[in-house]
Amino acid sequence: MTPVRISIAASVASALLVLVVLELIRGRRLKERYALLWLVTGVVLLVLSAWRDGLNTIAGWLGVTGYPPAILFAVATLFIIIVLLHYSTVLSTLDDQSTVLAQEVGILRQRLDALEGAQPAPTGGLSANTSPPSGSSL
């Protein structure tokens, strides 16, 4: 049986996780697509923490007989692996997009340089050789 102190501590930590995620969503510092994964994990950890017999039952199904709260750590570790995999795919997509954007900027810069070289320099106004009128301070 899971000790009551362990269940209370894990429940408080899980509830704090859910509250922090909700606050980050409210403050628009966390996008909804990322928040859903965090909220689901927080709720699962909260349920596993508070429902002591359920945690013991799941531990029995998985063959964990020595210390059933180890299932909480296993779930948390699995969550971390899923988040890392998700972030890796997001970063890979962003890296591909930045490569394409850099290529497009290079092409546009080359076209701009070609257009500037083909057109005559603008006339009128101050040229590079003129100096400001005497007595003025810049």
Task: Identify the pLDDT of residue 14.
Answer: 92
Angle (CA) 105 109 111, round 5°: 120
Choose from 23-37, 43-57, 95-109 the range with maximum mean pLDDT: 95-109
CB atoms < 10 A from the CB of 106, how many?
10
Q: Is the pLDDT of residue 104 over 60?
A: yes
- Rounded to 10 deg, the angle between the 32-50 and 52-62 helix axes is 100
Angle (CA) 48 50 52, round 5°: 75
Question: Which of 77, 70, 43 has the alpha carbon at shortest distance from 55?
Answer: 70
> Over the chain, what is the mean pLDDT?
84
Domain edges within the chain: 4-114
Question: 121 exposed, middle or buried (CB, 10 Å; 0-12, 13-18, 19+)?
Answer: exposed
User: What three-state secondary structure class fits 88?
Assistant: helix
Half-sphere exposure at residue 47, Cβ-oriented, CA atoms within 13 angstroms: 9
Distance, CA of 44 to CA of 86 (rounded, Å): 19
Across 47-55, average pLDDT: 85
Task: Identify the pLDDT of residue 102.
Answer: 92
